Structure 1
């Protein structure tokens, strides 16, 4: 395969690494806050050497981790998530059913109920150790019979984990809830018209909000999903105390990979912030991260951007108002986890041209931490300072940055109260880390209560 035929996702900052390594006593520029004692873990696709998965989304999951403690960067290591897919097991069984363990587990990594879980939306979660070794799939004592989204939401008050599973076969969508201790305590089918690709959803203090959008299952080359003009677009509001009872609200056709946050305002309306794609933008993005030759993919990537939009759902009036909050193309919106489902002033995101962004809803402004044209930022994860009665932005943003040629990476630490300012610290990583998807900060107290292993 010539250079011009190599897909974008196998080049530069997206190119997979060929092996697992570890390094200790990493160089630090600046000063790491001693409060940052824990692990930053990030997941992403990484095919085995010589493999071409046919789409960026389809590479085997690889975890990258950086251990910080008391102002030092103790180690970096990376490990493939050893799933059934990595072992060569087929996802579709001879009888047409799915092997939910034969997945890539390449999208997110979280801690819940004392377990660290590597997630992908078409299969079971995989438990991993704090050192990133794979323990195995987890179906929550046999109670989970669907896939698990890679974007579950933890209620910061109850500690419950809300999530869903979607499927190309009925039931197309199922809601689930884990207790704070990690027990699957509730499941309910959510009726939808067909096999929609639902990557994310939202929760508030009292509701879940589902995004039933026109990317649907279709038999085609590459990933089997595509835009369906006939499907329509709507938002489903489900009271958390009445699982399965959903009220639907029609919206203009669009697609959303990632939700920033949702909450209920004083008037009882549901406010939902998302990274929204138009039909043309999602088509361009899909082409850019698919099997297209690199020249076409680069052009598609330039056109395929999401922008920050807000939907305000008024249940009393039966309406949805839509507003665009920013002109900047962006992705990977995040908030302080303690604000999930509650009003938030700040939302963080990543822009290919502007770096790491902080949207201030109170002032209507955007602060940007520019990285220059030769560096790409990964998702920015907020870590609270832990100070009593802290302000919302009192903490840090962690992001793995990678040069566009894929040769070098850093763990960037920003002061979330001054995102545009100089970094608090930069940890030099021992290799270029391919751009990936999502990650989490797991403090030591959560690692110490881990029940993943003997």
Structure 2
């Protein structure tokens, strides 16, 4: 498998060939007994013999670890058995209509309203069981007739779920909210949005923020993901009130791309603050070459992203922006209890670059501007660091970070658990196989599935 020509099918990303289960996993250190639940991570893992034209087109595979009573009870990996996986069903039928169930289901896994949903943004979500078996497509009790983005925002105060549908064809953008009972409570067409790649968005307590940036639909792109950088497309961010009519105030920003927002909030002056790793054109095109395995791709996916902050002032209609750190980072996370609220700390995956030769997990302190780095060493690639709050914690770094680490040197993987406040190892669960590097995951406490 290591001889495959595509970078997303080799090295840390080499697919596994089957589904398996294991129990009674070995543990280094001590698992905090308060961690009662499942860590589940999603990612692209094509079926044996399949070489997709783009990293994002690989079939979704879930990897899960069940923790209880200070023990690692089981590991399981399962493909999401959608029609795209079982029957090679295409997204577009012969008559040109979309089969919204034909999903790779490979980008994210979330819990909402007691359901586990595997997401891929051009399709409907797919529900899976707590044991990772495929249940079926979920359309919010018949209320969702369009695709759903892979990145959602669950409001920690109201409990409602916010998500988007974006499309290269009009209407280009629809904003949704849903209740924990699984019903769509709002669906708004956002007038004025364009055919850009809106992989993520942000919310505050009062606003929704849309990223209408210069990676736009281009049918000439032959990788199967028809988007390219567009120098002629104005870069904008839109701010819309969460209540009332869907009236968006658009802010001109410097050309750039943003795949994952860290968070957004309202500052004391009423301005909207948005944080996230920003790509300039060079960074985007270098990353895209890796995603498609184009000639001259960098051996590291995602080179050149830097932590950024946009300040959008509704009173003046002006935006300002700044680099907040020069490390190459992506996959930012926070304490999800602070989505849309001011957060002191955030976490991210640090890439080789800016003087670094290895991967790492980085922690940022927005109060002091300080950063702390947890180095993993040569040939060890961590995944997105997911924050889990500690019982009785009083700050947004009182908790744990979970990350699946791929180790090429030992051909193995582990679920790493760090103390988030000190950025030190607490425990590591040895997994029974090397887990391919993936994308996004979630910690799901048992209480959320009760």
TM-score by length of 1: 0.94
1:273 equivalent to 2:301? Answer no
CA distance in 2, matches of 1:63, 1:2: 22
Deviation of 1:180 after TM superposition, in Å, equals 2.8
3-state DSSP of counterpart to 2:294: coil
Instruction: Check 1:126–1:185 CA distance in 2 against 1; reply closer, same or farther (3 A cut).
Output: same
Deviation of 1:298 after TM superposition, in Å, equals 3.0
1:371 equivalent to 2:370? Answer no
Q: Structure 1, residues 395-442: CA drift from partner, whole Å, max 9, x if none?
A: 1000000024682101000001101x3x10010000011111101100
1:147 equivalent to 2:152? Answer no
3-state DSSP of counterpart to 1:325: strand
1:324 equivalent to 2:291? Answer no
Higher relative contact order at CA 8 Å, sep ≥6: structure 1 or structure 2? 1
Give aligned pairs, total: 441
3-state DSSP of counterpart to 2:208: strand
Alignment gaps of 5+ in structure 2 = 352-357
Deviation of 1:217 after TM superposition, in Å, equals 1.3
Aligned partner of 1:429 in structure 2 is 431
Instruction: Check 1:212–1:344 CA distance in 2 against 1; reply closer, same or farther (3 A cut).
Output: same
Instruction: Check 1:177–1:401 CA distance in 2 against 1; reply closer, same or farther (3 A cut).
Output: same
Q: Equivalences for 1:387-402 in 2 at 5 Å? A: 387=392, 390-402=394-406
CA distance in 2, matches of 1:243, 1:164: 17
Q: Structure 1, residues 353-372: CA drift from partner, whole Å, max 9, x if none?
A: 35001000111100011001
Instruction: Check 1:76–1:21 CA distance in 2 against 1; reply closer, same or farther (3 A cut).
Output: same
Q: Is the 8 A contact 1:249 1:319 kept in 2?
A: yes
Q: Equivalences for 1:27-426 in 2 at 5 Å? A: 27-86=26-85, 87-219=87-219, 220-222=221-223, 223-292=225-294, 296-299=296-299, 301=300, 304-352=303-351, 353-387=358-392, 390-404=394-408, 407-419=411-423, 421=424, 423-426=425-428
Aligned Cα root-mean-square deviation (Å):
1.5
Q: Is the 8 A contact 1:12 1:406 kept in 2?
A: no
CA distance in 1, matches of 2:136, 2:302: 40
Aligned partner of 2:355 in structure 1 is none
Deviation of 1:171 after TM superposition, in Å, equals 1.2
Deviation of 1:302 after TM superposition, in Å, equals 7.1
Alignment gaps of 5+ in structure 1 = 449-454
Aligned partner of 1:452 in structure 2 is none
Instruction: Check 1:172–1:405 CA distance in 2 against 1; reply closer, same or farther (3 A cut).
Output: farther
CA distance in 2, matches of 1:242, 1:282: 36
TM-score by length of 2: 0.95
Please list every run of at least 4 consecutive aligned residues from structure 1 whose deviation after the TM superposition is greater than 6 angstroms.
Answer: none
Deviation of 1:288 after TM superposition, in Å, equals 1.0
Moved more, 85-94 or 429-438: 85-94
Q: Is the 8 A contact 2:46 2:59 kept in 1?
A: yes
Q: Structure 1, residues 245-295: CA drift from partner, whole Å, max 9, x if none?
A: 1110010110011000000011100110011000110000000121325xx
CA distance in 1, matches of 2:276, 2:408: 27
Q: Structure 1, residues 175-207: CA drift from partner, whole Å, max 9, x if none?
A: 000113221111000124532111000000010
